[in-house]
Structure 1
Amino acid sequence: MAQCCPDPAEADAATEAGRESGLRLLPLGRQGLTCRYRCGDACSRPEPNTSSNGYFGDVLRTVLDRRGALRAGAVLGLATGAGLATTGAGTAGTAAATPATPEGGPGGGQQPPRGLRYETVAPNVDDAVRVPPGYASNVVVRWGDPIFPDAPEFDFENQSAAAQARQFGYNNDFCGILPLDGAGKRHIMYSNHEYTLEPLMFRGFDEENPTEEQIRIGIAAHGGAVVEVVRDRRTGELHHDRAGRLNRRITADTPMVLDGPAAGAEVLRTAADPTGRAVLGMIGNCAGGTTPWGTFLTGEENFDGYFASGPVTDPRAERYGFEEGPSERRWERVDPRWDLAQEPNEANRFGYIVEIDPHDPSAKPVKHTALGRFKHEGATVALTRDGRPVVYMGDDERFDYVYKFVSDRAMRRGNSRAAREHNAGLLASGTLYVATFTGNSPAAEITGDGALPSDGRFDGGGTWTPLASTTTSFVDGMSVADVFVFTRLAADRAGATKMDRPEDVEPNPRTGKVYIACTNNSDRGKAGEAGADEANPRHANQHGHVIELTEQGDDPAATTFGWDILLVCGDPADPSTYFGGFDKSQVSPITSPDNVAFDQYGNLWIATDSTQALKINDGLYGVVLEGPQRGSTRLFASVPVGSECCGPVVTENFALVSVQHPGDLDDASPEQPASHWPDGGASQPRPAVVAIRNLHGAIGV
């Protein structure tokens, strides 16, 4: 969920969607506000990765295998081998021409696998959440809802920072949930609050001169929320409980701890924190994960735009996208730590995976330096056979990398105090790796137009190259602290493969295969940029793709892997698309895969974050992974106009989606909103978490 700015040609081609109930005719293109306030118009600027790596031989030239973890012969051998409803106001709009949406399940008379048995939702541009027949949805919690008994009710016209700090924050993204009882009635839910869109939050907002109160409201609207939710056993609806004893708001000012091998390093020390181990707040938190030991992980992603800066001459800062000038939100006007001229090290304290214990509202969130510093989309966990956590991560920037961290400590089972204290340190020490992908087809067969090579698949092998352990750097010229604070530079030197915005990277809990959502990269193949390779096979990759990675020996700690591309996304009528070999006339159009999740049966679910390149709303899709229907992709739920579908959770009894920035279309404003979801009438749009349920049984059954 980062760079979303449409190519100018895409913007020019955006269609108009007619809407009633007071909604204006608007181009169906993502509002420039999201591009600016989320990621600083990153897609309109040169990407920060100017390294010339991307060739397999660079690994052997630039990285010393001091521990003997990589053997040149084994590496080269692998390189030559193959890969192993709440319905808001509005009526249906008119979607652009696409192949006929399959009725019910896939064709051929075959029933979809268990968990994916639903009638496909038609692509649309409605200002509503659309779900299959026999399903319903409700809002669990929305921006401004009070999450404490004494918190005030939301009043759009009379907001305050004090109120916002006790209300659900803005632009909820990742959503995680854990049971609090054995009956399936009460759960604890965590949501990220990734970023704010002040011009849509305040009437008459002056972007050059925001008021101090508006700035502080924005600071309070960032971070995350821990909220107890209750499922009504009669109706199946989920609602938040504002009196829940575990409820908590985390903001950009919440005290946190830095741990791991870089904690205390000189580059993390500031005037306010000479120890380099304490930091206030988290920002740009995008996706995340739920750990086997009962905590939530959340990734700080686009943090560069929050800092004012003088001329940027340090290549380490340039590699992270920092530019000269004031910050987008002008936070430096109320707190000097957001001004790099005054606190040059403050930015080095952001860009980490943060761990949150939802069961202890007094516990400080922990930023784990051992998991590296980059634009983290999220972090998801698998366990090795001996119980050590392996955390998979993507760096959501054009031409950046896929990583994993392997802990050197095994998880302890149980909920004893000793087990909890032990598990709290699992992500503080271990080894950080970056991925290199090698195709098994001749380079001449990767033409950049999506045409499959002669073997009929985009596939190959790869290596996990170690960057550093807790005590040892494996990258020449970089200390341990350097690697963990300036991880992108270390990965550049390691010759990692430049990817098309790797966002969510998640292991399937049933099969162990790892799925990588590469959202898009319109710069692939442009003059001076990296061309197509087998792992990123399409030039001007507007719609993205999904990679299926298989660790050697099904061991998450392996240093080699095989891979193949499951989906090359887009309009199924486009010859450059691919759906696992499945009949493309029987799939839904899909663009810009972002977050992925798995249900109890091991089916893949994909949430999308598009620029409306297909002129359809974003949504949640179910994907078959095994058997003759492998690659079947069908829309399960679509979200309102102008919004992004985030943070999916799919359980037996309900599915959760985060509806981010509804109504964020060109020229939208509080005076002329492009959406009235979720409250309808003349209300302002509000980001929210939505629960979807089957009125007749389990999800997808």
Structure 2
Amino acid sequence: MSDQSARAQVFPAYDPDEISSNTSGNRPFQQVAESFLSRRAALRGTTVAAAGFLVAGSALGGAAPAAAHGRGHGHGHGHHGGRGKGHGRRDLLGFEPVPASDADEFTVPPGYRTQVIIPWGTPLRPGGPAWKKDGSNTAAEQAEQIGMNHDGMHFFPLGWGRSCRRGLLVLNHEYTDAALLYPDGDAEMTADKVAKALAAHGVSVVEVERKWNGEWKQVRSRFARRVTGTTPVGFSGPVTLDHPALASGNEPMGTLNNCSHGVTPWGTYLACEENWNGYFGTEDPSWGPTPEQARYGVSATGFGYRWHLADPRFDVAVNGNELNRFGWIVEIDPHNPYAKPVKRTALGRFKHEGCTVTESRGRVVAYSGDDQSGDYIYKFVGEGSWRAHRARRRSPLDHGTLYVARFNDDGSGEWLPLVFGEGPLTAANGWQDQADVLLRTREAADALGATPMDRPEWVSVNPKNKDVYCALTNGSGGNAANPRTPNPYGHIIRWAEKNGDNTATTFTWDIFLLSGDPAYDSSVTLDEDSLHGSPDGLHFDRDGRLWIMTDVSNSTQNRADRGHDNIGNNQLLAADPKTGEVRRFLTGPRGCEITGAVITDDGRTMFVNVQHPGEATAVFGEPTPENPRAVSNWPDFDPDGRPRSATVVISRTDGGVIGA
């Protein structure tokens, strides 16, 4: 048996997010989806289907699902009948698809160029502490450098006329990899190592500018800033700092495991705390999680960070309330480097994958997925005009109603309000007040009968018609909206709010795309130019292209025994929402996730993040302090260096619109 084969057998079988902590018994989305699809199949081809039953499809982009038009399963497809000719939409997907790849390289279509900027360890300001390729930068130095594992990101234009030549890049740093962060790994955990890891988490704000030759450069800026795991933070909304559940052994500080993000109409950035539970643990054998803690996946071992060995802040037996300070949406003003980040508690406490904000009838609407198998999709609807709140110097995110989604077999759905005193959320049922509902958001959603989903990831709103799309990366399935049991490849669901109003409390839904490989799953209709697994990030550009970022787990990536040998490394694809056409736009290096894609307002520059290149994979190996380059050496390819997360700038050589 080869070393690689042996490694594949001992490599962790699943990501923690793939294991559900939901014991509510609510009807899961897979069962709903199975019923929905069987109903649709029974009606397919009849006048009833064409005229009435597929109303969800007619509301979504102006066309019924693909099955009603005889285009396969109605789950999206990769067929395009020649480059740019398949559906008369040449302008939307006008690039040559790149092939799937397992190479340690970053590949884009012909006619495009790339540039790597702000990799992990880049000084935040000119003259700041330089990157040390042996991983020996101190915690203090790391706090003045770009953080590790770039994730969600936004470009805020600066200058006259919202220039697309200069702006602020604001990006999350989701987590740290001890094998690459420290020169000697983490066999021994120390206070200095915890401090460095905390400094590598959080958010970076940097100013970038496009020079005369088309290259982008980081420039000196008064806005440059790091928000880390120890930055002082505030709390606002129903759960205030004087709440007993937030009483802890230290001042409120830090944000951890920020995955995706959001952007408000008033120009602030929303960082989203996802797998915060994994940072806590204890050696106390008498400790056990409460039901609330268990529902959030808190355990004595966490995700193996072992910070609790050196810092009591993360010992759940010593400082248990510190848990309650995480799992929130964090608002950051990128234009005010002195403003304290604020955790907006009205948006609920769970594993926020992201927070996509749109506007309807003058009110803010914020969508967020809870990224764990069997958890839910949420929506916050602001109370009244957000401009009126701002005029009174109140946050629009502190005033409104949080809802959770229920998907029905017939393609309908409703938003269930998470409001104390309504439905089962009463004092008689053990709920104390609205703050209690928000602190225990998952349990409140359980009580309302929300639909468990296959790991809800990024949400994106189509600018052309306000339809909403959500990536479900993988999971155990179990209802109509999650139709595979299990679901190793994931899918994308979409819905249309009633009357196109994102504040509505009812909607119609359909499955936009089933990801995967038809060689292993006959329900998949993708071809070699569009094969992919585990859709994660979603981003609509100004022209209505849906950009799909993938995050196939390194325990699964490129493995034939898990049906991923044809899919290759993680990638970015583009889809036409009206036709279902999908094309692969780029592939990333080994061990990475593709994330954070955002396009400037003129459509001519894309920024995309390559997260965790070179991390341990079942196929290619595992980095060690002696050989951190075992899996990847991207982007530096330094024989004495190590892989680094980085932002890649993509543009067309002819200066045209990305994707067209």
The answer for the alignment partner of 2:657 in structure 1 is 698
Match of 1:491 among 445, 448, 471: 445
Contact 2:189 2:310 in 1 (8 A): no
Work out the CA distance in 2 between the residues paired with 1:128 and 1:420: 49
Shift of residue 337 of structure 1? 1.9
Match of 1:296 among 257, 262, 269: 269
Change (3 A) 1:161 1:313: closer
Work out the CA distance in 2 between the residues paired with 1:270 and 1:675: 43
* 2:260 corresponds to 1:287: yes
Shift of residue 670 of structure 1? 4.0
Match of 2:409 among 411, 418, 439: 439
Match of 1:176 among 142, 151, 154: 154
The answer for the alignment partner of 2:343 in structure 1 is 367
Change (3 A) 1:557 1:100: closer
Contact 1:438 1:534 in 2 (8 A): yes
The answer for the alignment partner of 1:618 in structure 2 is 570
Change (3 A) 1:194 1:641: same
* 2:646 corresponds to 1:668: no
* 2:538 corresponds to 1:596: yes
Q: Which digits, 9 at most, give the CA deviation of each residue in 1:62-88, with x for residues without a partner?
A: xxxxxxxxxxxxxxxxxx99535xxxx
Shift of residue 266 of structure 1? 3.4
Match runs of 1:143-158 below 5 Å: 143-157=120-134, 158=136
Work out the CA distance in 1 between the residues paired with 2:521 and 2:295: 36
Change (3 A) 1:314 1:419: closer
**Runs of 4+ in structure 1 over 6 Å off:** 24-31, 99-104, 471-474
The answer for the alignment partner of 1:425 in structure 2 is 395
Count of residue correspondences = 589
The answer for the alignment partner of 1:475 in structure 2 is 425
Work out the CA distance in 2 between the residues paired with 1:312 and 1:104: 59
Contact 1:338 1:346 in 2 (8 A): yes
Secondary structure of the corresponding residue to residue 432 of structure 1? strand
* 2:580 corresponds to 1:631: yes
* 2:330 corresponds to 1:354: yes
Work out the CA distance in 2 between the residues paired with 1:30 and 1:643: 21
Q: Provide the TM-score with structure 2 as the length reference.
A: 0.84
The answer for the alignment partner of 2:47 in structure 1 is none
Shift of residue 214 of structure 1? 2.0
Shift of residue 600 of structure 1? 1.1
Work out the CA distance in 1 between the residues paired with 2:10 and 2:165: 39
Contact 2:120 2:146 in 1 (8 A): yes
Shift of residue 515 of structure 1? 0.2
Contact 1:169 1:193 in 2 (8 A): yes
Contact 1:255 1:364 in 2 (8 A): yes
Contact 2:190 2:310 in 1 (8 A): no
Contact 1:500 1:520 in 2 (8 A): yes
Match of 1:226 among 197, 202, 205: 205
Match runs of 1:147-296 below 5 Å: 147-157=124-134, 158-181=136-159, 182=161, 183-207=163-187, 209-235=188-214, 237-241=215-219, 243-264=220-241, 266-272=243-249, 279-296=252-269
Contact 2:289 2:299 in 1 (8 A): no
Secondary structure of the corresponding residue to residue 427 of structure 1? helix
Work out the CA distance in 2 between the residues paired with 1:152 and 1:500: 42
Change (3 A) 1:643 1:271: closer
Contact 1:624 1:633 in 2 (8 A): yes
Work out the CA distance in 2 between the residues paired with 1:402 and 1:339: 30
Shift of residue 233 of structure 1? 3.9
* 2:365 corresponds to 1:390: yes
- Alignment-mate amino acid for residue 130 of structure 1: T
The answer for the alignment partner of 1:137 in structure 2 is 114
Shift of residue 384 of structure 1? 1.4
The answer for the alignment partner of 2:352 in structure 1 is 376
Shift of residue 461 of structure 1? 0.7
- Alignment-mate amino acid for residue 174 of structure 2: E
Work out the CA distance in 2 between the residues paired with 1:430 and 1:244: 36
Match runs of 1:404-415 below 5 Å: 404-412=379-387
Q: Which digits, 9 at most, give the CA deviation of each residue in 1:459-513, with x for residues without a partner?
A: x0100000127x9786233221111011000000010001000111221222100
Change (3 A) 1:547 1:336: same
Contact 2:269 2:333 in 1 (8 A): yes
Q: Provide the TM-score with structure 1 as the length reference.
A: 0.79
Contact 1:111 1:117 in 2 (8 A): no
Q: Which digits, 9 at most, give the CA deviation of each residue in 1:227-266, with x for residues without a partner?
A: 111112432x22222x211010010000011111122463
Secondary structure of the corresponding residue to residue 252 of structure 2? strand
Shift of residue 540 of structure 1? 1.2
Contact 2:632 2:643 in 1 (8 A): yes
Contact 1:105 1:112 in 2 (8 A): no
Shift of residue 31 of structure 1? 11
Structure 2 unmatched ranges of 5 or more: 30-52, 60-76, 558-562
* 2:474 corresponds to 1:517: no
Match runs of 1:549-564 below 5 Å: 549-564=495-510
Contact 2:349 2:439 in 1 (8 A): yes
Shift of residue 102 of structure 1? 7.1
Change (3 A) 1:55 1:350: closer
Contact 1:201 1:670 in 2 (8 A): no
Secondary structure of the corresponding residue to residue 406 of structure 1? strand
The answer for the alignment partner of 2:83 in structure 1 is 105
Change (3 A) 1:474 1:81: farther
Q: Which digits, 9 at most, give the CA deviation of each residue in 1:312-351, with x for residues without a partner?
A: 2410000000112477323234432211222221101100
- Alignment-mate amino acid for residue 466 of structure 1: P
Match runs of 1:63-78 below 5 Å: none
- Alignment-mate amino acid for residue 509 of structure 2: W
Q: Identity rate of aligned residues, in percent? A: 40
Contact 1:472 1:480 in 2 (8 A): no
Shift of residue 305 of structure 1? 1.3
Work out the CA distance in 2 between the residues paired with 1:501 and 1:265: 33
Question: Which moves more between the two structures, 301-310 or 157-166?
Answer: 301-310
Work out the CA distance in 2 between the residues paired with 1:573 and 1:265: 57
- Alignment-mate amino acid for residue 577 of structure 2: L
Work out the CA distance in 2 between the residues paired with 1:112 and 1:635: 16
Contact 1:389 1:411 in 2 (8 A): yes
Q: Which digits, 9 at most, give the CA deviation of each residue in 1:392-432, with x for residues without a partner?
A: 0000000100000011142229xxxx95773x601012100
Work out the CA distance in 1 between the residues paired with 2:8 and 2:107: 20
Change (3 A) 1:343 1:420: farther
Secondary structure of the corresponding residue to residue 142 of structure 1? coil
Match of 2:459 among 487, 492, 505: 505
Work out the CA distance in 1 between the residues paired with 2:330 and 2:91: 35
* 2:422 corresponds to 1:463: no
Change (3 A) 1:368 1:594: same
Shift of residue 146 of structure 1? 0.2
Work out the CA distance in 2 between the residues paired with 1:592 and 1:661: 16
- Alignment-mate amino acid for residue 262 of structure 1: V
- Alignment-mate amino acid for residue 700 of structure 1: G
